[in-house]
Amino acid sequence: MKYALVTGGSRGIGRAVCVALAREGYSILVNYASNRTAALETVRLVEEAGGTAEIMPFNVAFSHEVDDALAKWEETHPGEFISVLVNNAGIREDNLMIFMQDEQWNKVLETNLFGFFFVTRRVLKNMLTKRNGRIINITSLSGLTGMPGQTNYSASKAGIIGATRSLALEVAPRKVTVNCVAPGFIDTDMTADINQDDHKGRIPAGRFGQPYEVAAAVAFFASQEASYITGQVLSVNGGLHT
């Protein structure tokens, strides 16, 4: 059985990634922090697509939760390992820097950047031992260009890009690839508070993207055909680069 762990897999891009990878033959581990109902809906959609899935609750921002959940899974799946990791869990706490509170800065960095570190470090060992692995990190247009009101979010996503490039160099000899997918404006819960009409004119494609379009890029990076691609950032943004 091939296993893929998708953090933040209960909704939006994460849910679409779970379904896309299930169609590629992976058994999906659907991570979520608190919304069990939404995670179970993702499981239902994976099964509807002909795949298998199980939920894996933990908050990526807390290393002990990450370690405990993965240790428990390994105990109940002897001899198995997670060969695809999609670091998708992320949050926004937008504010202008001059008004930004410590909690807003810390919470975003802890979830988006520290979470990437805690989960990847824990899963990586078995990938290296097995000489087989795909790590795909969901970053953002904001991490490439910056966005006003998102210094915390941009810092976290830019940090993931830098970490991806460094880690790719470390693990390539063990046949593990590390890449990023950088969505632009995607129609999800995370962008529900954004007026699409205010931004469509800036997007050459003239619309917000859909989660399945991001998931397709993730599925490509997870494939055997992408085995010679590592340390890269693939933008899925309708042509919006500035």
CB contact at 8 A, 39 and 92: no
Alpha carbon distance 233, 242 (integer Å): 16
Q: Which residues pair with 209 in a beta bridge?
A: 186
Alpha carbon distance 142, 153 (integer Å): 7
Alpha carbon distance 93, 103 (integer Å): 9
Looking at this protein, which amino acid is placed at residue 190?
M
Alpha carbon distance 217, 196 (integer Å): 23
Looking at this protein, which amino acid is placed at residue 147?
M
Q: Under DSSP, is residue 24 helix (H, G, I), strand (E, B) or coil? A: coil
* Catalytic option among 3, 26, 32, 153: 153
26 is catalytic: no
Least Cα distance to 151 among 188, 195, 96, 189 occurs for: 96
Catalytically active residues, by annotation: 153
